[in-house]
Amino acid sequence: MNSAQRNEYLAAMGIQPWVRRDRDLPEDSTVIATRLSGDDSPTDGLDWPALQDRVAGCTRCALHATRTQTVFGTGNRSADWLVIGEAPGADEDRQGEPFVGRAGQLLTEMLRAAGQERDAVYITNILKCRPPNNRDPQPDEVSSCHDYLERQIELIKPRLILAVGRIAAHNLLETDTPVGRLRGRVHTYGPAGIPLVVTYHPAYLLRSPLEKRKSWDDLKLALQIINGQ
């Protein structure tokens, strides 16, 4: 059956033939999935429910095929503190909430030590899906999730961003400077110049407990920003 015969057959069945409009793009599975899902449309103007629905159905990168569920974020959507981590792990992938494993328990205690209950801040990640075997996020995966995170930041309007760990710090600040050299000073993020403080990831602190004092110093720096000191 040639193309013309096929189109006549589909028309007789009441089926609209699919016509590729972006002939210059490679016809790979990622391109097809993104186009068919419609989730490549702008996130500008989306409210919280619409944004969460968009993320839940996202197929922009290959991670959608291996996730249990997306991990959107949790906490106070009008928070002063926005905590941004790397990507969901196995526990987060199962429960659909960021920082719920051992590292999450330590993060909760760190925030509480700084006078911040977990539900008083907002916690999310650079990626909304778990990379297989907890590998580092790939550039295309970070790019696919970027405008979701940007829209969360626009909606929250935080007074402070706490970048937790290397992956978060490097992607938010667009640098490859080691975390040890990024922490201890105030950075800014985005056109609004939101103050940003870098600290170690709780998973790293579990492996290197002697570094906890440095993270406490980072939290004290964050508090100084919030308190206007």
CA distance to 15, 19, 21, 36, per residue, from 11 (Å): 5, 13, 19, 21
- Is residue 90 pLDDT above 60, yes or no? yes
> What's phi and psi for 43, nearest 5 deg?
-95, -5
* The pLDDT of residue 40: 72
> What's phi and psi for 27, nearest 5 deg?
-90, 65
157: left (phi > 0), else alpha (psi -120 to 50), else beta? left
Region 144-157: mean pLDDT is: 97
Span 169-207, pLDDT tens digits: 999 999 999 999 999 999 999 999 999 999 999 999 999
| Angle, CA 164 vertex, CA 219 and CA 203 arms, to 5° | 105
* DSSP notation for 88-151: --HHHHHHTSSS-SHHHHHHHHHHHHTT--GGGSEEEES-SSPPGGGPPPPHHHHHHHHHHHHH
- Looking up tokens 């928070």, which residue turns up? 79
Q: How many CA atoms lie within 13 A of 168 on its CB side?
A: 26
* The pLDDT of residue 14: 43
Q: Which residues share a beta bridge with 82?
A: 122, 161
Portion of the chain with pLDDT greater than 70, in percent:
83
pTM (two decimals): 0.82
- Is residue 17 pLDDT above 70, yes or no? no
| Domains of the chain and any CATH numbers | 71-226 (3.40.470.10)
Q: How confident is the model at residue 31 (pLDDT cuts 50, 70, 90)?
A: very low
Determine contact, residues 119/76, Cβ cutoff 8 Å: yes
Rounded CA-CA distance 29/35 in Å is 10
- Is residue 38 pLDDT above 90, yes or no? no
**Hey, what amino acid is at 169?**
A
Instruction: Pick the more confident residue, 179 or 14.
Output: 179
Question: How many CB atoms neighbour CB 149 within 10 A?
Answer: 22
CA distance to 14, 90, 144, per residue, from 67 (Å): 36, 9, 15
Length of the chain: 229
Flag the least confident range among 15-24, 104-113, 153-162.
Answer: 15-24
* The pLDDT of residue 12: 46
Determine contact, residues 75/122, Cβ cutoff 8 Å: yes
Determine contact, residues 158/82, Cβ cutoff 8 Å: yes
